[in-house]
Amino acid sequence: MLERLEELERQALTELEGITDEAGLNAWRVKYLGRSAELGVILAGLRELSKEDRPAVGRRANEVKLNLESTLQTRVEALRVAALERSLQEERLDVSLPGRKPILGRIHPANQTLRQIYNIWAEMGFQIYLSREVETDDFNFGLLNMPEHHPARDMWDTFHTTATGVLLRTHTSPGQIHVMRERAPEPIRVILPGMCYRYEQSSTRAEIQFNQVEGLAVGHHITFADLKGTLNAFARRMFGEHVRTRFRAAHFPFTEPSAEMDIECFICEGKGCSVCRRSGWLEILGCGMVHPIVLRNGGYDPTVFTGFAFGMGPERITMLKHGIDDIRYFWGNDLRFLEQF
């Protein structure tokens, strides 16, 4: 029995030396120190031994048990230290490495143009007024001199909501009525920027959503000359001191007379190219003198007050400035496009 204990001890210790991981240690513990391990069986069976053998075997068996337990403890400790050492080696930080550059977001190209437009109009004394994107039929059309069934409504393909008479604004012009009703009879100089929506087949030139910047001036002696002078001043600041402009007669139900403003094509300087479709001119906004009916709907007496209004599309202006040939890039969220600005 004593020899068996020696043998067992030697075998256990040799095996323990070769173990390098936690799972191995656990298996070893079960094998040699567990309840049904041979050593345990010997200890449990001590009382069956003869009186002479019992003390010596008992003492030796307990020694072996203590020795195995303490050697195991030492081994566990050693493995823990080794593991720590290894992780310190492997995960060492080189604090002298240059850092990675954080990726910086940037201002969306449409917003860059919007901010430029705001600055120019702010310098000319125009306040920014925000107006709602969900409108009533009345504000989007009726109060702008387009009663129900007016054929001009066809110029604006409309997203209707499930509530009768409630729609997504097709242009920023309904904001004119909101400002006038809020300010009458004070003079007005505001711009109204914001998103507009049209029920359109999207294409390179048309999107179902886009920004507009509306402008409105109402006062006592405002004339068409003021309209032209102000818009010319804007064009010079937006497109350069030497830009040439022209006004073409147009028609909008809410302005009379109405016009569209072109700027000379800055790509070909008026010679004619693909961007200006060989015309030498680029259309950038619609404008006109506020229609008397619209003034009245806003709470201003048209025999006393006059005003001008205009509406421009910042995406279109951005496209012209940067030679972008498809308006759908603006809301496509393609980083390859956005990162160029």
Q: Point out which residues bind ligand PHE (CB under 6 A).
A: 171, 173, 214, 252, 255, 286-288, 309-311
Residue-wise over 152-174: b if at least 16 C-beta within 10 A, else e?
A: ebeebebeeeeeeeebbbbbbbb
CB of 172 to ligand PHE, least distance (A): 7
Residue of minimal Cβ distance to ligand PHE: 311
Q: Which is nearer to ligand PHE, 32 or 281 (CB)?
A: 281
Peptide bond just before 185 cis, omega within 30 deg: yes
CB of 260 to ligand PHE, least distance (A): 8
Q: Which is nearer to ligand PHE, 38 or 256 (CB)?
A: 256
Instruction: At 30, give phi and psi (nearest 5°).
Output: -65, -40
CB of 216 to ligand PHE, least distance (A): 8
Count Cβ atoms below 10 Å from residue 78 Cβ, excluding itself.
Answer: 11
Tokens representing 105 are 């977001």
Q: Which is nearer to ligand PHE, 61 or 170 (CB)?
A: 170
Q: Which amino acid is at 281?
A: W
Q: Which is nearer to ligand PHE, 15 or 256 (CB)?
A: 256
Torsion angle of the four alpha carbons 29, 33, 36, 37, in this order, in degrees rounded to the nearest 10: 90
Maximum distance among all alpha carbons in the chain?
A: 133
Q: Going by DSSP bridges, is the β-strand pair 281-290/255-264 parallel, antiparallel, or unpaired? A: antiparallel
Q: Which is nearer to ligand PHE, 194 or 311 (CB)?
A: 311
DSSP class of 160: B
What is the distance between the alpha carbons of residues 298 and 185, in angstroms, rounded to a whole number? 9
CB of 335 to ligand PHE, least distance (A): 31
Q: Which is nearer to ligand PHE, 239 or 252 (CB)?
A: 252
What is the distance between the alpha carbons of residues 267 and 243, in angstroms, rounded to a whole number? 12
CB of 99 to ligand PHE, least distance (A): 49
CB of 338 to ligand PHE, least distance (A): 26
Strands (E), 198-305: 209-219, 245-252, 255-264, 281-290
Q: Which is nearer to ligand PHE, 75 or 211 (CB)?
A: 211
Tokens representing 173 are 């012009």
Nearest to 2 by CA among 40, 36, 37, 42: 42
CB of 100 to ligand PHE, least distance (A): 46
